[in-house]
Structure 1
């Protein structure tokens, strides 16, 4: 049937659940299209409170989808999961 076993599919399912929110999809799309960003830049783009952005970033970070790199007081985020990059690429190309 496929090269994936049930454990692999459970891991993929958890990634999809973490992505399955409009704000998180928007964050991931922005990171994919525009590159690394900090919370303030995301908050200004999304026009939502910084605390809300931080909550969504925490979910993505806890699932290993993104990581933050500290530079002084600022943390810049990037997508680290290759599957997520591929999924976002499909979404961007199909304008979903």
Structure 2
């Protein structure tokens, strides 16, 4: 048995941040579209922009997504290929 459980801390943080329906939906949509901004996500999810921004902040902090600024707009995309594989494997039925 592997007694060094601390090496799993990064992946557990990623799993924790993905364990919310809105964040999981954001990540799935980013996988499908490749890139998106807050305004588009707000329209699709039908929730306030401030709520979307809070969820995006948590996803960014965990290293799941990254944003690229284009003027006043920030476009978000999946940062890590492991996330793509994980989401595609758990949402294979959708």
So what's the TM-score if we normalise by structure 2? 0.91
1:81 Cα deviation (Å)?
1.7
- Runs (4 or more) in structure 1 with deviation over 3 Å come to none
Matching of residues 9-88 of structure 1 within 5 Å: 9-88=8-87
What is the CA RMSD across the aligned residues, in angstroms? 1.4
Question: What is the CA-CA distance between 1:92 and the residue it aligns to?
Answer: 3.1
- For structure 2, the 5+ residue unaligned runs are none
Q: How many residues align?
A: 93
Please state whether the residue corresponding to 1:94 is helix, strand or coil.
Answer: coil
Q: Distance in 2 between matches of 1:83 and 1:8?
A: 16
